[in-house]
Structure 1
C-alpha cells in the first residue's frame, strides 16, 4: 500500500496502537475540522480509506513514528 509522507505523519500523530483505534481517532478528529480545512479533511479521508483497506498485519508492519527531521529539512 502506498502511503504518502503526509499520511504517515498524520497517522503517527493519532496512532492509538491499533488499526481500528487509529481509524476511530482520525474520524473523531475529522469531526472537529472547520469547513475551510479542506486539505486536512482530504488527507484524513485518504488515510482512513487506506487504513480500512489494509489488514491488521499490514498495519502492524507500518513504522508510525513522526519524522520530525524530514519536516525540519523541508522548512529550510
Structure 2
C-alpha cells in the first residue's frame, strides 16, 4: 500500500486508533468540506479508499503520527 505523505498526515490527525474508526472520522469530516475544498476532498477520498483496501493488521503497521517537523521545513 503506497500511502503519500499528505495522506499519512491526514490519517494521523483524524486517527482514533482503529481502521474502521478512521474511515468513519474521515467520512464525517468530508461531509463538512465546502465546495471550494476540492483538493482536500480528493485527498480524503484517496485515503479512505486505501484504508478500505487494507486489513486491520496492515493498518496496525502504519506510522500514524503527525510529522510537524517536515511541515515546518517545507515552510522555510
Shift of 1:16: 0.6
Q: Which runs of 5+ in 1 are unaligned?
A: none
Gaps of 5+ in 2: none
**Runs of 4+ residues over 4 Å off in structure 1:** none
- Give aligned pairs, total: 76
Q: Distance in 1 between matches of 2:74 and 2:8?
A: 16
Q: Distance in 2 between matches of 1:69 and 1:58?
A: 25
- Give the structure-2-normalised TM-score: 0.99
Partner of 1:39: 39
Once the 2 structures are TM-superposed, how far is the Cα of residue 35 of structure 1 from its aligned partner? 0.7
- Alignment correspondent of 2:64: 64
Provide the alpha-carbon RMSD of the alignment: 0.3
Aligned to 1:10: 10
Q: How is 1:10-29 mapped onto 2 (pairs within 5 angstroms)?
A: 10-29=10-29
